[in-house]
Amino acid sequence: MSLGRRKSWGKKRGEKDREITREKRPAKPLDADRLQELALHYVSKYATTKAKLVRYLERKLRERGWDDDTSGGEPADPVAIAERFAARGFLDDETYAHMRSRDLLRRGYGPRRVGQVLREAGVGESIREGMETDAMQRAKAAILLAQKKRIGPFALEAPDMKTREKHLAAMLRAGHAFAEVRTVLDAGSEQELDEWLDELAEWDE
C-alpha cells in the first residue's frame, strides 16, 4: 500500500520536472512586433520616461536577442520606439517629473534628492530646472522627514552631540539644504516648527 503511494508520488514529481523543463525553454528572440508589444506593456503598467523605456527595451534585447530574419535585417531601435511613444502621448517626461517630484516631497525628501532621482530617470536638465520648490514645500518636506525619523522636536529624548550629528547627516542625505535641517534640529518644540510655517506663509502672501 505504501509502495504504491511512493510510485504515485514519483510519477507526480516526474510530471512536475517535465513541466519545469518546458518552462525553462529560452524565449524566442525579439522582432519589431514583439519589441513594440513589450514597450506598450511597460508604458501601460508604469509611469516612465523615454530614457527608462529605452533602458528597459535594451535590457530585454540583451536577454532575448534580436531576430534579424523576421525583422528583415532592420536593427532594433528602442530610441525610435520611445520617441514615437512620446509623440503619441503614451509617455511624457515633464508629466513624470512633476508627479515624481510631488511624490518624493510628500515622503519627506528634499529638492536635492528629487533632482538626483529625476536625473537618474533620464529627465532632461531643462525639465529638472522647472521642478524648483518654494520655501514652504521645502520646510514641510523637512518637517515630515523629522517626524518619520523622530528627529529634532519629534525625538523621544534629547539627543547627545553624536546622535545630533547622525540626525544632521540623515537629513542632508535625504536632500535637504543645511538651512532647513538646522531649523528643524534647533526647534525646541513642534510649536516652533508650526510658527516657522506660519512665517513662511506670511512671506508668500
DSSP, residue by residue, 110-179: -HHHHHHHHHHTT--HHHHHTT---HHHHHHHHHHHHHHHT-GGGSSS---HHHHHHHHHHHHHTT--HH
Q: Please tell me whether residues 197 and 122 are part of one structural domain.
A: yes
Q: Does the residue 126 lie in any domain? A: yes
Query: Is 21 buried (19+), middle (13-18) or exposed (0-12) by CB count in 10 A?
Result: exposed
Domain range enclosing 129: 93-204
Count CB-CB contacts under 10 A for residue 170.
Answer: 15
Contact of 200 with 141, CB cutoff 8 Å:
no
Q: Are residues 56 and 121 in the same domain?
A: no
User: Mean pLDDT highest for which of 10-19, 65-74, 91-100?
Assistant: 91-100
Domain co-membership, 86 together with 118: no
Residues 136, 46, single domain; the answer is no
Output the pLDDT for position 3.
Answer: 47
User: For residue 16, is it within any domain?
Assistant: no
Q: Whole-prediction pTM value?
A: 0.80
Closest CA to 56 of 81, 84, 33: 81
Residue 2 domain-assigned (yes or no): no
Determine the average pLDDT of the residues in 158-162: 93
What is the pLDDT confidence band of residue 131, given thresholds at 50, 70 and 90?
confident
Check residue 179 and give its pLDDT: 95
- For residues 100 and 198, membership in a common domain is answered with yes
Report if residue 83 sits inside a domain. yes
> Is residue 109 in a domain?
yes
> Are 42 and 86 contained in the same domain?
yes
**Torsion angles phi and psi, residue 30, rounded to 5:** -80, 150
In a domain? residue 12: no
Whether the per-residue pLDDT at 141 is higher than 80: the answer is yes
Tell me the CA end-to-end span of the chain in Å, nearest whole number: 86
- Of the three residues 42, 59, 91, the one that is the final residue of a domain is 91
> In this predicted structure, which of 5-9, 14-18, 37-41, 125-129 has the lowest mean pLDDT?
5-9
Sign of CA dihedral 77, 82, 83, 87: positive
In a domain, 17, yes or no: no
Number of independent structural domains in the chain: 2
> Does residue 2 register a pLDDT over 70?
no
